[in-house]
DNA sequence: ACTATATGCAAGTATCCACTTGCATATCAA
DNA sequence: TTGATATGCAAGTGGATACTTGCATATAGT
């Protein structure tokens, strides 16, 4: 629901980075990559809860595939930010 | 310092909205407007602390003018967000 | 100098949030 | 079915954070 709160945590931002690099990863793949490549030390449930927040914010879509769950990046909600506070065309008096 | 954490609070986002509407307001003006126009019930110190967070994040610049302090919106740090996770040109398989 | 205005500092509180632990459920392979 | 893999649920805990209260500082006007 809250895109802004979803971005407030660094681990969640790294997850978005990781899905940007390779989309459609499972929870286990994300866990493994965060640990090894990004130096994040956290339990699987911790990452699962972060993914729940990202999904509730509409930044990640999921799809069950057998006993795995694929995670896809859906960054459209982020467009609201640049729409709300444009970074161009604001003269500084 | 942390742009993402600065955006995590709704009151801070309303402050950014208010400075977008009218730039260069003092703390007292921001307080008055938040209370009346945005229905925010919070103490002056609360708003002041929020402004400190926004300034630390580089989203607001200040300028002392006599016994008042003017607040200006500097939204450039927000550009990092759309740069980090582009919302266009990402095909969904 | 004195008063009022505008802001700053600091400590205390209460809520929220990230994280863990333990157990449960579901799918695949033998 | 049995065992292994992949994920889900729920309660508890520590630390962060939004907010308040009280006092202090600085500028402007008289």
Q: What ranges in chain B are assigned the alpha helix state H?
A: 3-7, 10-21, 27-38, 44-56, 79-84
Q: Is the pLDDT of residue B63 over 90?
A: yes
Residue pLDDT, tens place only, A9-66? 999 999 999 999 999 999 999 999 999 999 999 999 999 999 999 999 999 999 999 9
Cβ(A18)–Cβ(A25) under 8 Å?
yes
- CA A3 to C1' C2, in angstroms, rounded, equals 52
Rounded CA gap, B34 and B15, in Å? Answer: 7
Q: Is the pLDDT of residue A91 over 80?
A: no
Which residue approaches D19 most closely, CA to C1'? B46
Residue pLDDT, tens place only, B77-86? 999 999 999 9
CA distances from A93 to B16, B29, B66 (A): 17, 18, 18
**Nearest-CA neighbor of A91 among B68, B12, B23?**
B23
CA distances from A76 to A9, B2, B4, B65, B82 (A): 19, 22, 17, 41, 10
Looking at residue A29, its pLDDT comes to 97
Looking at residue B91, its pLDDT comes to 54
Residues 50-79 of A near strand D (Cβ < 7 Å)?
Answer: 62, 67-69
Cβ(A12)–Cβ(A53) under 8 Å?
yes
Would you call B21 helix, strand, or coil by DSSP?
Answer: helix
Residue pLDDT, tens place only, B29-47? 999 999 999 999 999 999 9
Looking at residue A90, its pLDDT comes to 53
Q: Give me the domains of chain B, ranges plus CATH numbers.
A: 3-71 (1.10.10.10)
Q: Is the pLDDT of residue A1 over 80?
A: no
Looking at residue A38, its pLDDT comes to 93
Q: Is the pLDDT of residue B87 over 60?
A: yes
Rounded CA gap, A51 and A30, in Å? Answer: 10
Looking at residue A80, its pLDDT comes to 96
Cβ(B11)–Cβ(B34) under 8 Å?
yes
Provide the sign of the torsion angle of the four alpha carbons B57, A74, A64, A1, taken in this order.
positive
Q: Is the pLDDT of residue B57 over 80?
A: yes
Residue pLDDT, tens place only, A56-89? 999 999 999 999 999 999 999 999 999 999 998 6
Average pLDDT, chain B: 94
Q: How far is B43 from chain A (nearest CA, A)?
A: 23
Looking at residue B90, its pLDDT comes to 53
Minimal-distance CA residue of chain B relative to A5? B8
């Amino acid at each position: 629901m809250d895109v802004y709160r979803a971005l407030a945590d660094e681990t969640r931002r790294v997850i978005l980075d990781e899905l940007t690099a390779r989309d459609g990863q499972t929870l286990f793949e994300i866990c493994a990559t965060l640990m090894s490549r990004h130096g994040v030390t956290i339990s699987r449930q911790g990452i699962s809860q972060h993914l729940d927040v990202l999904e509730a914010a509409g930044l990640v879509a999921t799809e069950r595939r057998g006993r795995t769950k694929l995670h896809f990046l859906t960054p459209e909600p982020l467009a609201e930010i640049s729409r709300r506070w444009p970074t161009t065309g604001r003269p500084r008096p």
